[in-house]
Amino acid sequence: MLNKLKSTFQLVLFSMIVLGLCTTVNAQSLEEIMKARGLTQQDMLAAAKTYTPTGKMDEYYCFSSGGQSGHVIAYGVPSMKLLKYIAVFSPEPWQGYGYGDVESEELLNQGRMRGRKITWGDTHHPALSETAGEYDGKYLFINDKANPRVAVIDLKTFSTIQIVPNPIMKSEHGSTFVTPNTEYILEATQYPAPFSNKYVSLDEFNEKYRGAMSFWKFDMKKGKIIVKDSFSVELPPYCQDLSDSGKKVSEGWVFTNSFNSERYVGGFGKGNTKWQDRLPFEAGASSKDTDYLHMINLKTAEKLFKDGKTTEINGHAVITMKTMVENNALFLIPEPKSPHGVMIDPSGQYITVSGKLDTHVSVYDFKKMMKLVESKKYEGKDPYNIPILSMKESLHGQVELGLGPLHTQYDKEKGIAYTSLFVDSAIAKWDYLNLKLLEKISIHYNVGHLVTAEGDTVSPDGKYMISLNKLSIDRFLPVGPLHPQNHQLIDISPGKPMQMLYDMPFPLGEPHYALLIKADKLKPIKRYKKKWFKNRVKPGREKVVKEGNQVTIHSSLIRSHYSPEIIEVNVGDEITWHITNLERAQDETHGFSVDLYNIHGSLEPGETCTFKFTADMEGVFPFYCTEFCSALHLEMMGYLLVKP
Q: Which of residues 298-327 bind a copy of itself (CB under 8 A)?
A: none
**Residue 634: how many CB atoms within 10 A of its CB?**
11
Contacts 24+ apart (CB under 8 A), 262-270: 262/287, 262/288, 263/205, 263/206, 263/236, 263/237, 263/238, 265/202, 265/205
Contact set for a copy of itself, span 115-154 (CB under 8 A): 116-120, 122, 145-148
- Spatial separation of the C-alpha atoms in residues 356 and 524, rounded to whole Å: 39
Among 249, 370, 435, 500, binds a copy of itself (CB under 8 A): 500
Among 510, 516, 578, 579, binds a copy of itself (CB under 8 A): 510
Q: Which is nearer to a copy of itself, 181 or 206 (CB)?
A: 206
- Spatial separation of the C-alpha atoms in residues 444 and 65, rounded to whole Å: 20
Among 219, 586, 612, 614, binds a copy of itself (CB under 8 A): 586
Residue of 476, 531, 529, 533 lying closest to 507 (CA atoms): 476
- Spatial separation of the C-alpha atoms in residues 162 and 216, rounded to whole Å: 12
Among 135, 528, 577, 611, binds a copy of itself (CB under 8 A): 528
Residue of 460, 518, 492 lying closest to 133 (CA atoms): 460
Q: Does 521 bind a copy of itself (CB under 8 A)?
A: no
Among 607, 608, 609, 610, binds a copy of itself (CB under 8 A): 607
Region from 179-187, 342-350, 371-379, 593-601 binding a copy of itself, contact rule CB under 8 A? 593-601
Sign, CA torsion 42/43/46/51: negative
Q: Does 533 bind a copy of itself (CB under 8 A)?
A: no
- Spatial separation of the C-alpha atoms in residues 55 and 49, rounded to whole Å: 16
Q: Which is nearer to a copy of itself, 53 or 548 (CB)?
A: 53
- Spatial separation of the C-alpha atoms in residues 592 and 584, rounded to whole Å: 18
Angle at 469 between CA 55 and CA 36, to 5 degrees: 55
Q: Which is nearer to a copy of itself, 373 or 450 (CB)?
A: 450
Contact set for a copy of itself, span 324-343 (CB under 8 A): 338, 340
Q: Does 439 bind a copy of itself (CB under 8 A)?
A: no
Sign, CA torsion 583/589/590/592: positive
Among 314, 459, 473, 612, binds a copy of itself (CB under 8 A): 473
Q: Which is nearer to a copy of itself, 72 or 186 (CB)?
A: 72
Number of residues binding to a copy of itself, judged by CB under 8 A: 204
* Shortest separation between residue 464's beta carbon and a copy of itself, angstroms: 13
Q: Which is nearer to a copy of itself, 458 or 522 (CB)?
A: 522
Q: Which is nearer to a copy of itself, 246 or 266 (CB)?
A: 266
Residue of 285, 280, 286, 284 lying closest to 268 (CA atoms): 280
* Shortest separation between residue 183's beta carbon and a copy of itself, angstroms: 26
Among 565, 584, 612, 614, binds a copy of itself (CB under 8 A): 565
Contact set for a copy of itself, span 204-263 (CB under 8 A): 209, 239, 241, 259-260
Among 444, 518, 521, 530, binds a copy of itself (CB under 8 A): 444
Q: Does 3 bind a copy of itself (CB under 8 A)?
A: no
Build a one-symbol-per-residue string for 182-201: x at contacts with a copy of itself by CB under 8 A, - elsewhere: --------xx-xx--xxxxx
Q: How far, in whole angstroms, is CA 474 from its chain's centroid?
A: 27
Q: Does 175 bind a copy of itself (CB under 8 A)?
A: no
Q: Does 161 bind a copy of itself (CB under 8 A)?
A: no
Contact set for a copy of itself, span 405-434 (CB under 8 A): 422-423
Q: Does 580 bind a copy of itself (CB under 8 A)?
A: no
Residue of 282, 285, 260 lying closest to 269 (CA atoms): 282
* Shortest separation between residue 642's beta carbon and a copy of itself, angstroms: 6
* Shortest separation between residue 335's beta carbon and a copy of itself, angstroms: 15
Residue of 621, 617, 616, 622 lying closest to 637 (CA atoms): 622
Among 4, 221, 270, 531, binds a copy of itself (CB under 8 A): 270
- Spatial separation of the C-alpha atoms in residues 75 and 515, rounded to whole Å: 10
- Spatial separation of the C-alpha atoms in residues 238 and 258, rounded to whole Å: 6
| Amino acid identity for residue 252 in this structure | G
Q: Is 372 strand, coil or helix?
A: helix
- Residue 66: which residues within 8 A CB-CB, separation 6 or more? 72, 73, 85, 88, 123, 508, 509, 510, 511
Q: Does 532 bind a copy of itself (CB under 8 A)?
A: no
Q: Which is nearer to a copy of itself, 367 or 521 (CB)?
A: 521
- Spatial separation of the C-alpha atoms in residues 12 and 29, rounded to whole Å: 19
Q: Does 402 bind a copy of itself (CB under 8 A)?
A: no
Q: Which is nearer to a copy of itself, 91 or 334 (CB)?
A: 91
What residue ranges in 179-210 does DSSP mark as E strands?
A: 184-189
Q: Which is nearer to a copy of itself, 82 or 220 (CB)?
A: 82
Residue 100 · residue 611 · CB < 8 Å: yes
- Spatial separation of the C-alpha atoms in residues 109 and 119, rounded to whole Å: 10
Contact set for a copy of itself, span 13-72 (CB under 8 A): 13-14, 17, 20-21, 23-27, 29-30, 33-34, 37-58, 61, 66-70
